[in-house]
Amino acid sequence: MTKVPQAGHVKTRLVPPLTPSEAAELNKCFLRDTAASISSAACDNNACAIAVYTPVGCEAAYTDILAVDFKLLPQRGETFGERLYFAAEDLFKCGFESVCLIDSDSPTVPAKSFSHAVAELTKLGDRVVLGPCDDGGYYLIGLKKPHRELFEQIDWSTRRVLDQTRQRAREIGLEVKLLPPGYDVDDGASLCRLCKELLAEAASADIAPHTREFLRKLTARKKL
């Protein structure tokens, strides 16, 4: 799930400490790193990588961001819940047996977490797979059917999202499988956390390399 990374339209809660242009560049790095992890998991699991994007007409912006194996699918819907549900519905209409919707704000989630989601969805029986975030939301939701109930009566952008989604799943009799936790980077505190994690001497070079390089250059010229 992605929005074209245009200055002033993405990562606005990071302005300040970042400028609109810096926030957009950081978002590009998030997309590159997340796309690389998705591509790796897709290759290992015979899956397909798709960017569900908005707005229509800006497709060229993804040329130097997404891996060549990515396909594009436009978003539709007004509210966040509608956009998620319609994305799942449209992907199932394309013929996929299962679907994972992944956010663009969690660049440190490793490919193995995405592979774990695919493995859970290949098992018999209907279920929902969720990748919990520390802020009470989720970085991934995996489905075997387009259950609209999972996207209704949810207080989006609050700490209640994960719990409410699990409650909706219980109400319709769905088994819930949880992935290892991750975190969104959407405010100053989470940006500081990201810097400490990626710029530490012991940080793994395989995790979010594009984001790490951008933050290294950014912190060299300004204090976050």
- Show pLDDT as tens, one digit a residue, over the chain (224 residues): 999 999 999 999 999 999 999 999 999 999 999 999 999 999 999 999 999 999 999 999 999 999 888 999 999 999 999 999 999 999 999 999 999 999 999 999 999 999 999 999 999 999 999 999 999 999 999 999 999 999 999 999 999 999 999 999 999 999 999 999 999 999 999 999 999 999 998 888 889 999 999 999 999 887 76
pTM attached to this predicted model: 0.96
In a domain, 224, yes or no: no
- Residue 101's domain spans which residues? 2-219
In a domain, 83, yes or no: yes
CATH number of the domain bearing residue 37: 3.90.550.10
State the DSSP H helix or E strand holding residue 198, giving kind and residue range, or none if neither.
helix 188-199
Structural domains of the chain, count: 1
In a domain, 12, yes or no: yes
Q: What is the DSSP letter of 94?
A: T
CB-side neighbour CA atoms (13 Å) of 73: 20
Q: Rounded CA gap, 132 and 181, in Å?
A: 5
Q: Are 210 and 27 in contact (CB under 8 A)?
A: no
